[in-house]
């Protein structure tokens, strides 16, 4: 392994769930939860995401620290920051760079996820939050993931990264 590959493979940070939300219907209001069930190949219970192994957007995650960045880019006063539910992501995670999860499996609570891509902003955010929102969220929109192993997730649960094997892929370890 090269020194750069070693740096990429080692993720010493551990994240923490700060907020959980589901969208019972497309374009409907977010519902904030203290706990949710992540279901294998189906996403989060109560969320409208289409189930199935081919759905790469079963769950969306955004970094807690990016809410302040997005608020600043929008020129929001500290008393009126962008809220987690405004960005319509399912899980808000603090303490870890979500981009370090690229190509990785990770555990939150009892559930195991696999990163499937970047979560780009949608044009509707501009309509909901005002001019410039699309550009403010670009690069800060978080990641998409698929549920590999079902389990319960609670606010304040840790996010732990599965270590990479020598092949560069995270081994599956449901226990």
pLDDT of residue 164: 57
pLDDT tens digits for range 87-108: 999 999 999 999 999 889 999 9
pLDDT of residue 59: 95
**Per-residue pLDDT tens digits of the chain, which is 175 residues long:** 898 888 888 888 899 999 999 999 888 889 999 999 999 989 999 998 777 777 888 999 999 999 999 999 999 888 889 998 999 999 999 999 999 998 899 999 999 999 999 998 888 888 888 899 999 999 999 999 999 999 999 999 999 997 655 445 444 444 4
| DSSP-based helix, strand, coil % in the chain, nearest 5 | 20, 30, 50
Domain definitions of the chain by residue range: 15-161
Phi-psi label, residue 5: left if phi above 0, alpha if psi -120 to 50, beta otherwise:
alpha
Helix/strand/coil for 160: strand
pLDDT of residue 169: 47
The strands making up 151-154's β-sheet, listed across from edge to edge, are: 43-44, 35-39, 151-154
Question: Rounded to whole angstroms, how far apart are CA atoms 84 and 88?
Answer: 7
Residue 160: count other Cβ atoms within 10 Å of its Cβ.
16
Question: Rounded to an integer, what is the distance from CA 82 to the centroid of its chain?
Answer: 16
| Assigned fold of 15-161 | M1 Pyruvate Kinase; Domain 3 (2.40.33)
The pTM of the full predicted model, rounded to 2 decimals, is 0.88
């Amino acid at each position: 392994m090269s020194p750069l590959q070693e740096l990429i493979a080692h993720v010493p940070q551990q994240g923490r769930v700060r907020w959980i939300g589901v969208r019972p219907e497309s374009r409907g209001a977010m519902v904030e939860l203290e706990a949710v069930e992540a279901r294998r190949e189906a996403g989060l219970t109560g969320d409208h995401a289409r189930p199935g192994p081919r759905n790469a957007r079963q769950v969306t995650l955004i970094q807690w620290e990016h809410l302040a960045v997005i608020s600043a880019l929008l020129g929001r006063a500290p008393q009126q920051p962008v809220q987690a539910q405004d960005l319509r992501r399912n899980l808000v995670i603090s303490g870890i760079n979500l981009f370090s999860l690229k190509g990785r499996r990770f555990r939150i609570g009892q559930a195991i996820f696999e990163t499937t891509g970047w979560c780009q902003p949608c044009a509707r955010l501009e309509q909901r939050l005002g001019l410039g929102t699309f550009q403010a969220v670009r690069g800060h929109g978080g990641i998409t993931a698929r549920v590999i192993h079902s389990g319960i997730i609670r606010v304040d649960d840790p996010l732990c990264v599965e270590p990479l094997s020598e092949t560069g892929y995270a081994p599956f370890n449901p226990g």
